[in-house]
């Protein structure tokens, strides 16, 4: 671990500090070039944009630019360490946007005193960008922040910790239930955790067919039920009218366990209580709610996913967020709505059922991958994700009426 720590520090420090840089996209070698790039030539696009703001997409990089914005209140599994400490994570997100979807990205870390001050700061700079990715903002403030920014901004605003997690979880979960011969509409679901990711995951599963009354959510005080008087408005959406109070109560005969909480909170004894052919997604990182080896030792009939790359079925947001923004920006969507999220779920799900190209096997370190218990979700290095997910999202944006331009001819047809 000490060796890995040093490698991680060296990676970020050498040979140049950080993970991103800015490059120019136009010639700037001669006096004529500079006259076009800046004064006096730059005045012409300024006039065009002043006359019609949409011309910013024609004459600037706005349409390919995403802001990754945080206040550092929920950094990975490290907690509230402040905006500056979050900068390596935000740079990492910018790296992923560029690597997987060729989207330019800049990280912005905001210091603020109140939630409203954060909202005002982001709203004031939003027009600079084609889209905004909110990141590592703690619940419940993240719900208020995203809702307010969606209302105030005219570009897509997407809190990846909520919706990216939800999209990948839903795609993998529905496929896992298919493998297990189960229908999401009938599945009994236990969700350990009640923060931003948990609420978003369960809401999206409901949009994909799960029944709210079949979902049991737990926080640090146990089952969230209708007789509790300590629930915020987001937890209250999942208050179940039940006499069940403990994890053991709700997990008995459950079909699904989704963990978005912390390490080692799901005991083997609880796994043994689940219904035949269960599904467990233990997504706490780096240490899951239960180690796969332990879970499989208890249940041979299990499909299991984690947030880690060294186990099968990695639930990884990079499977969706770069491609969702790619599709949304390419049709100038005003938002990322539920139709676009569900379209992303369906595209990711479908890809896992197709034959896996050799290049993906090589990149992922596998000799073979076939849809089944150990492969219910695509690998992050699969290049087919970009065209499939981006196109599905763009089509959904057009069909749901939030796109400002039509789908380009033959867009992302692979």
Q: How far is residue 110 CA from its own chain's centroid?
A: 21
Nearest to 163 by CA among 390, 377, 317, 388: 317
Q: How far is residue 152 CA from its own chain's centroid?
A: 22
Active-site position among 19, 62, 87, 93: 93
- Give whole-number Cα distances, 16 to 11, 106, 175, 399, in Å: 9, 17, 42, 45
| 216 in active site | no
β 157-159/189-192 pair status: unpaired
In 3-state terms, what secondary structure has residue 374? Answer: coil
State the virtual CA torsion across 275, 185, 244, 168 in degrees, nearest 10: 80
Q: Which residues pair with 47 in a beta bridge?
A: none
Helix (H) or strand (E) holding 387: helix 385-399
Helix (H) or strand (E) holding 174: helix 160-179
| 38 in active site | yes
Active-site position among 7, 38, 59, 221: 38
Cα–Cα distance between 56 and 46 in angstroms, integer?
A: 9
Phi/psi at 180 (5° precision):
-85, 0
DSSP 65: E
Q: Which two tokens stand for residue 363?
A: 């990149």
Cα–Cα distance between 55 and 71 in angstroms, integer?
A: 31
In 3-state terms, what secondary structure has residue 409? Answer: coil
Q: Which two tokens stand for residue 171?
A: 């795609």
Which bin fits 267, alpha (ψ -120 to 50), beta or left (φ > 0)?
A: beta
In 3-state terms, what secondary structure has residue 189? Answer: strand
Q: CB-side exposure of 251: number of CA atoms within 13 Å?
A: 23
Cα–Cα distance between 266 and 113 in angstroms, integer?
A: 37
Asked if 372 and 353 touch (Cβ cutoff 8 Å), the reply is no
Count of CB atoms situated within 10 Å of the CB of 150: 18
Q: Which residues are catalytically annotated?
A: 38, 93
């Amino acid at each position: 671990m000490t060796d890995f720590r040093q490698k991680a520090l060296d990676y970020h420090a050498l040979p140049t500090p950080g993970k991103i840089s800015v490059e120019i996209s136009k010639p700037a070698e001669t006096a004529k070039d500079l006259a076009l790039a800046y004064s006096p030539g730059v005045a012409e696009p300024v006039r065009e944009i002043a006359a019609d703001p949409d011309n910013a997409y024609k004459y600037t990089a706005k349409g390919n630019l995403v802001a990754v914005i945080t206040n550092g209140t929920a950094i990975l599994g490290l907690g509230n360490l402040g905006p500056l400490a979050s900068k390596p994570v935000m740079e990492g997100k910018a790296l992923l946007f560029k690597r997987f979807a060729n989207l330019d990205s800049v990280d912005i870390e905001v210091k603020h005193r109140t939630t409203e001050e954060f909202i005002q700061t982001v709203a004031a700079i939003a027009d600079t960008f084609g889209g905004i990715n909110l990141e590592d903002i703690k619940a419940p403030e993240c719900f208020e922040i995203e809702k307010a920014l969606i209302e105030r901004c005219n570009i897509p605003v997407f809190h990846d910790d909520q919706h990216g997690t939800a999209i990948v979880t839903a795609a993998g979960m529905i496929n896992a239930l298919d493998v297990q011969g189960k229908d999401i509409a009938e599945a009994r679901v236990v969700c350990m955790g009640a923060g931003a990711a948990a609420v978003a995951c369960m809401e999206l599963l409901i949009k994909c067919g799960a029944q709210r009354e079949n979902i049991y959510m737990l926080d640090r005080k146990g089952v969230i039920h209708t007789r509790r008087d300590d629930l915020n408005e987001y937890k209250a959406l999942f208050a179940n009218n039940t006499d069940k109070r403990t994890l053991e109560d709700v997990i008995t005969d459950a079909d699904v366990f989704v963990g978005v909480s912390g390490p080692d909170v799901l005991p083997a004894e609880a796994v043994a209580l689940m219904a035949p052919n269960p599904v467990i997604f233990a997504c706490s990182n780096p240490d899951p709610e239960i180690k796969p080896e332990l879970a499989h030792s208890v249940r041979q009939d299990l499909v299991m996913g984690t947030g880690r790359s060294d186990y099968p079925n990695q639930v990884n947001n990079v499977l969706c967020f770069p491609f969702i923004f790619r599709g949304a920006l390419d049709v100038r969507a005003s938002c990322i709505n539920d139709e676009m999220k569900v379209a992303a779920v369906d595209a990711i799900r479908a890809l896992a059922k197709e034959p896996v190209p050799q290049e993906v096997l090589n990149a992922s370190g596998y000799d073979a991958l076939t849809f089944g218990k150990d492969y219910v979700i695509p690998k992050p290095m699969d290049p087919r994700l970009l065209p499939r997910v981006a196109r599905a999202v763009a089509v959904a944006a057009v069909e749901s009426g939030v796109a400002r331009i039509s789908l380009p001819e033959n867009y992302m047809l692979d």
